[in-house]
Structure 1
Amino acid sequence: MMTHRYLGVVILAVFATPGANADIKVECAKDSILITWRISAELVPHAARLFLGTCMPSGLTVLPTGEGNAVFNYKLADCKFKRLMKGKSLHFQNELTYRPQARSKPAAFVHPIECVYKRPDGWIPPFLNPGSGISVGRGSLVFHMALLNDELTSIAKTNIVPLGSFMPIWAAVEQKSHQPLLLLMEECVATTSPELQPSSQVHPIITNKGCLLDSRKGNSKFLPRYQSSAITLFLQAFQLGFGQEVYIHCKLVAWDPDIFDESKKTCHYKKESER
């Protein structure tokens, strides 16, 4: 079985204050976090100005010394944690802050918080759910293609890419109740027109059923997969035309992995320095 489709596509300033005490204990559970922040007696009356992301303390205990323990016990889905995928790990990141002034003013104290977990098999970042990017269906399959931001955490907010920098181009096919599928970028070209035409100026990117030509001289490459039905091309920006928009056209192939052969591949040329 095969089906295919052509698709186009902080620096934190930390201000320590006499009342801010960085005696912080962090416990990461399966899907929640427990933080105990020991604060000075001077800060206890102002505990409502302590935050974990957008969350205030879930509890406050005043000790006999006059010091206090501000407790934050929340799910990782709360408080606006940032969820990042790095290799085989999932990182949940946030900040503890002391904000004596309104939120529009800088925090007087900032402390980074992070919980790291092994990435579950088959986990897909939420932003890659159906509805992101460009979708086209053929039969019962739906394909997606989109430009990601530099951190690979969401769809890019701009399509302006400086020459020489990298464009993470993500593509996927929805499996749903379908048999397991392997997604391949069989062909990709760059043009100065939104539609492929005989008169279009064309720059080949992927040819020979999956070989990345731009990896020969540049640093373009395919990133490791997180599942077979998705792929990310890390493409180094190049110049095509002068002052014109550039469009990436790709032929995506959804293939049965059980009948995989040499004609179905994803490859880039390895540099000497990578060996």
Structure 2
Amino acid sequence: MAVYADMKVDCGPDFVTLMWTESRPQADTSLLRLGSCFPTSFSAGEAYFYVDLTDCNFRRLVTGDALVYSNDLTYIATADSYNLAFTQPVVCAYERPKDWYAAIYDPVFKTYSLGDLQFNIGLMNGG
């Protein structure tokens, strides 16, 4: 299997940089997507992404002591393209900070009324 490109990923504290260097002259690097994001910049042979981990549909997974962010680099082939579409996984793994906990859903209910509120509850026995 021939290798036609080189991908370099740098996982920052809350961002990712990705450089895709393409060796096929007919490949259009503007057709690359990192999740839902377009390249930050691109040229004839390279595509560069600089994105926050909260953007581009990154998925977050917490397992034990690890915090893992994952996404897909996708090439969208056009009808007249010689290149096939492909997907390449992009993963950044971090040690979970000791004081980090997932946000807990805490619904807040606000009730407004012009009169008295009345609640009724009824119990029913099968019969």
Q: State TM-score, norm by structure 1.
A: 0.35
Match of 1:31 among 11, 14, 22: 14
Instruction: Using the TM superposition, give the Cα deviation of residue 58 of structure 1 relative to its aligned residue in structure 2, in angstroms.
Output: 0.4
Aligned residues: 107
Residues 1:51 and 2:33 are matched in the alignment: yes
Residues 1:111 and 2:94 are matched in the alignment: no
Instruction: Using the TM superposition, give the Cα deviation of residue 21 of structure 1 relative to its aligned residue in structure 2, in angstroms.
Output: 3.3
Residues 1:72 and 2:58 are matched in the alignment: no
Instruction: Using the TM superposition, give the Cα deviation of residue 23 of structure 1 relative to its aligned residue in structure 2, in angstroms.
Output: 1.1
Q: Distance in 2 between matches of 1:41 and 1:85?
A: 40
Alignment of 1:127-166 (within 5 A): 128-131=104-107
Q: Distance in 1 between matches of 2:12 and 2:77?
A: 30
Q: State TM-score, norm by structure 2.
A: 0.71
Q: Secondary structure of 2:43's partner?
A: strand
CA deviation map 1:47-100 (0-9, x unaligned):
2321000001101134xxxxx110011111110100000110100000001012
Moved runs in structure 1, 4+ residues, more than 3 A? none
Query: Structure 2: where are the runs of 5+ without partners?
Result: 108-127
Instruction: Using the TM superposition, give the Cα deviation of residue 101 of structure 1 relative to its aligned residue in structure 2, in angstroms.
Output: 4.7
CA deviation map 1:216-259 (0-9, x unaligned):
xxxxxxxxxxxxxxxxxxxxxxxxxxxxxxxxxxxxxxxxxxxx
Matched-pair contact (CA < 8 Å) for 2:30–2:42 = no
Q: Please tell me the root mean square deviation across aligned C-alpha atoms, in Å.
A: 2.9
CA deviation map 1:128-159 (0-9, x unaligned):
3323xxxxxxxxxxxxxxxxxxxxxxxxxxxx
Match of 2:26 among 36, 42, 45: 42
Q: Secondary structure of 1:48's partner?
A: helix
Q: Secondary structure of 2:4's partner?
A: coil
Residues 1:21 and 2:4 are matched in the alignment: yes
Which letter maps to 2:95?
K
Flag the structure with higher helix content. Answer: 1
Q: Secondary structure of 2:13's partner?
A: coil
Query: Structure 1: where are the runs of 5+ without partners?
Result: 1-15, 63-67, 132-275
Change (3 A) 1:22 1:87: farther
Instruction: Using the TM superposition, give the Cα deviation of residue 22 of structure 1 relative to its aligned residue in structure 2, in angstroms.
Output: 3.7
Alignment of 1:1-275 (within 5 A): 21-39=4-22, 40-43=24-27, 46-62=28-44, 68-101=45-78, 108-126=85-103, 128-131=104-107
CA deviation map 1:144-199 (0-9, x unaligned):
xxxxxxxxxxxxxxxxxxxxxxxxxxxxxxxxxxxxxxxxxxxxxxxxxxxxxxxx
Q: Secondary structure of 2:91's partner?
A: strand
